[in-house]
Structure 1
Amino acid sequence: MPQLTASGHDLSSLGWDDSLAADLPGGAVPARVARVDRGAADVITADGHHHAQYAAPLRRAAAADPVALPCVGDWAALTRLPEGRHELQAVLPRTTSLVRGGVGRDSRGGLSGDSQGQVLAANVDVVFVAEPALHATDFADLGRVERLLALAWESGARPVVLITKADLVGEHLAGLLDDVAAAGPGVDLHAVCSITGEGVEVVRDHLAGSRTAVILGASGAGKSTLVNALAGEQVMETQQVRAGDGRGRHTTVHRELIPLAGGGLIIDTPGIRRVGLYEMSQGVDLVFSDIEELAESCRFGDCGHQSEPGCAVLSALESGELPERRLESWRKLQREAAWMARRGDARLRAEETRKWKIIHKSVRGRGRP
């Protein structure tokens, strides 16, 4: 039976795992990060909500690697200072982490950006990829769905695709679901309408117990409206999509962890325009498991699927079994993942070289008379 404090809060309902207790520094208590700001965070503990500054060691770790910064969903070590303020001393080990790379486009149209990553959410069990069905002639952005699914698979959490605003496509819904299902083999897929309540209980089932979910998607996908439907009250501000182009406004401007009265927790996020891949080991392969399976039947083990004889992937393309759009999407994400890996390796080599230069300079300095 859960252990409650005098104030009635239950850490297990926030997803606390006693195995993390061994990583708590002496004198600290566990706190779950609900929202972050520059150098500070709002956290939830057994005795309530607190605002805490980052301790100096945590700031130094984050300066060396932004991935070490506290993020929404993290469990952290919280201490109370004599003057009454609170500080976050350290981030506890993450069970899952949703990390995007700092990839953009340069003025020549090529890939550019920082190879360091940014953690969008941590310790989540489920990643909801929300794709809106705006109207019958504007079906889902399948490339965006595939990219977000790659991010979700790589995090270690379980991806689930939600077709939101499902009431807007009428008789075309079945075809839309078929298209999205083909873009995410093996992934649960649900049609949802937060206004009518269609599919909301199915989404809630994914949050049974103390599971944590995060919702990813473009602005106007109905993420905050869904959070409100799950909460049974308006906990997040919402806006209508713009008239004419159907695009959404950025109503949610920060990520926030919201405990739900019926159990489970959900993280709402701002609309995502573009997400760069970061240190992909299997995320892209899992999204394109159909292509990976075809590739196993290629004549050559190192087939590049370009013009090689006996290429099962190209054969599937010619027969219509594999859509050209999906093959191009796979190639694009594979190139981006490889590019990010090379940038990451180059950054690590540069950091190692810098460290050795500092050590060498120090040794030379000590050897001088």
Structure 2
Amino acid sequence: MNTHDLSLLGWTDSLAAELPAGTVPARVARVDRGAAEVISADGHHHVKYGSRVRRASSDDPVALPCVGDWVALKELPEGRHELEAVLPRRTAFVRGGVSRTSRGGLSGDGQGQVLAANVDLVFVAEPSMHATDFADLGRIERLVALAWESGGTPVVLITKSDLFERGLDDLLADVAAAAPGVAVHAVSSVLGEGVALVRDYLAGSRTAVVLGPSGAGKSTLVNALAGDGVMETQLVRAGDGRGRHTTVHRELIPLPGGGLIIDTPGIRRVGLYEMTDGVDLVFADIEALAGACRFGDCGHDGEPGCAVQAAVESGELAERRLESWFKLQREAAWMAGRTDARLRKEQQNRWKIIHKEMRRSGRNRP
């Protein structure tokens, strides 16, 4: 049986202090409908969720174990293990919950989904070219906002740079303008360009998650970092140069030489969730301009003396960027309202249950 030094997986004294008595620690490598593949000191285990975890997650999907989580395992009499508890997360990349309406549309339900936990870095992978256009700056802004909100450090990787014939420097400059203060790198996993630079981010026991659309080359990058074909990939499609993504689950992969990386399926929709500073950090340039507006509560939408609108008119600020800021601000506010409404409803339901139990107890008194 393979053994593991848990410190190389990110285990710390602070986590040890949270471990319930009579349990052993493990890190979640993969989840699958009420069970998880975990890595503990004595090897890999397939474990089912205990009743405590099932109850917690039934009230809030964010409490579900996810890839990257540290968990407590309890050994059962028959010798197998059960997932007893999820230890407190240091960071968590959470996207807004999405449910399908009766008419087939999508609707935010105020709940979230954790895509990865306890990550130090969020690699936002965006292919340098699409079938009809260049890198999607709006998607980059959205993912970087969620990355800042997660507590991890975002890094933007412009992948498949070998397919970009000319103008790569201009593209990198445009991406850097869309993500102020965030490192931006061009990567070609096929040619090996930029791979060593990405590996340097993962020195020691640091953990990164790779997020991006299908065909961004995430699994190819993971394979290049791991030095082996650990994730299945397919050849690029003829005609548009995009890869056909085959990753269908999130998986934590320890890398040779140290560090861990979480590969993910392509993300079709990424909703914001409980935003505090994420959007402001992505749009730090707009926040800086807003300081010169005539009114402190300027909405940058036609008010007199608006420094942001003046910057758009002068060409200092791209109109696309301001429109993206409006969109994310509206979505963040809408999701906050949905979350508040859900919490109020849950609180009302809890009180109804309590009152019902009180009335029943009163009827049962002699």
Instruction: Quickly name the TM-score band, shorter chain normalised.
Output: over 0.9
Provide the secondary structure at the position in 2 that maps to 1:129. Answer: strand
Are 2:7 and 1:12 aligned? yes
The residue aligned with 2:154 is: 159
Task: Kindly indicate whether the alpha-carbon contact (under 8 Å) linking 1:41 and 1:51 is maintained by their aligned counterparts in 2.
Answer: yes
Aligned residue identity for 2:195: V
Task: Kindly indicate whether the alpha-carbon contact (under 8 Å) linking 1:161 and 1:188 is maintained by their aligned counterparts in 2.
Answer: yes
Are 2:345 and 1:339 aligned? no
Report deviation, 1:77.
0.1
The residue aligned with 1:357 is: 352
Report deviation, 1:241.
3.4
Report deviation, 1:18.
1.3
Q: Work out the CA distance in 1 between the residues paired with 2:248 and 2:126.
A: 19
Q: Work out the CA distance in 1 between the residues paired with 2:297 and 2:268.
A: 35
Task: Kindly indicate whether the alpha-carbon contact (under 8 Å) linking 2:108 and 2:338 is maintained by their aligned counterparts in 1.
Answer: no
Q: Work out the CA distance in 1 between the residues paired with 2:38 and 2:81.
A: 10
Report deviation, 1:24.
1.1
TM-score normalised by length of structure 1: 0.94
Are 2:182 and 1:187 aligned? yes
TM-score normalised by length of structure 2: 0.95
Report deviation, 1:200.
0.5
- Taking a change above 3 Å as real, the CA distance of residues 72 and 194 of structure 1, as seen in their structure-2 partners, is same
Count of residues in correspondence between the two structures:
364
Matching residue within 308, 314, 338 for 1:313: 308
Q: Percent identity?
A: 77
Report deviation, 1:356.
1.5
The residue aligned with 2:70 is: 75
- Taking a change above 3 Å as real, the CA distance of residues 80 and 107 of structure 1, as seen in their structure-2 partners, is closer
Matching residue within 116, 133, 143 for 2:138: 143
With 354-363 and 150-159 compared, the bigger mean Cα shift is at: 354-363
Q: Work out the CA distance in 2 between the residues paired with 1:105 and 1:132.
A: 29
Report deviation, 1:23.
1.4
Q: Work out the CA distance in 1 between the residues paired with 2:103 and 2:239.
A: 31
Q: Work out the CA distance in 2 between the residues paired with 1:40 and 1:367.
A: 41
Report deviation, 1:262.
1.3
Provide the secondary structure at the position in 2 that maps to 1:13. Answer: helix
Aligned residue identity for 2:249: H
The residue aligned with 2:42 is: 47
**Aligned-residue CA RMSD in angstroms?**
1.9
Are 2:28 and 1:59 aligned? no
Provide the secondary structure at the position in 2 that maps to 1:301. Answer: coil
- Structure 2, gaps ≥5 residues long: none
1:15-64: CA deviation from partner (whole Å, max 9, x where unpaired): 11111112111111110000000110000011111111100111111111
The residue aligned with 2:220 is: 225
1:227-247: CA deviation from partner (whole Å, max 9, x where unpaired): 010011111011123333455
The residue aligned with 2:82 is: 87
Q: Work out the CA distance in 2 between the residues paired with 1:328 and 1:105.
A: 27
The residue aligned with 1:366 is: 361
Report deviation, 1:361.
2.3
Q: Work out the CA distance in 2 between the residues paired with 1:106 and 1:356.
A: 28
Task: Kindly indicate whether the alpha-carbon contact (under 8 Å) linking 1:136 and 1:169 is maintained by their aligned counterparts in 2.
Answer: no
With 127-136 and 83-92 compared, the bigger mean Cα shift is at: 127-136
Q: Work out the CA distance in 2 between the residues paired with 1:99 and 1:286.
A: 17
Q: Work out the CA distance in 1 between the residues paired with 2:130 and 2:55.
A: 49
- Taking a change above 3 Å as real, the CA distance of residues 97 and 326 of structure 1, as seen in their structure-2 partners, is same
Provide the secondary structure at the position in 1 that maps to 2:293. Answer: coil
Task: Kindly indicate whether the alpha-carbon contact (under 8 Å) linking 1:135 and 1:169 is maintained by their aligned counterparts in 2.
Answer: no
Aligned residue identity for 2:158: I
Report deviation, 1:113.
2.6
Q: Work out the CA distance in 2 between the residues paired with 1:246 and 1:107.
A: 37
Are 2:276 and 1:278 aligned? no
Task: Kindly indicate whether the alpha-carbon contact (under 8 Å) linking 1:39 and 1:54 is maintained by their aligned counterparts in 2.
Answer: yes
Report deviation, 1:171.
2.4
With 193-202 and 102-111 compared, the bigger mean Cα shift is at: 102-111
Matching residue within 325, 348, 357 for 1:330: 325
Report deviation, 1:86.
1.1
Aligned residue identity for 2:63: A
Aligned residue identity for 2:189: S
- Structure 1, gaps ≥5 residues long: 1-5
Matching residue within 8, 21, 41 for 1:26: 21
1:208-219 alignment, distance < 5 Å: 208-219=203-214
Matching residue within 125, 130, 140 for 2:125: 130
With 103-112 and 217-226 compared, the bigger mean Cα shift is at: 103-112
Report deviation, 1:221.
0.4
The residue aligned with 2:110 is: 115
Aligned residue identity for 2:120: D
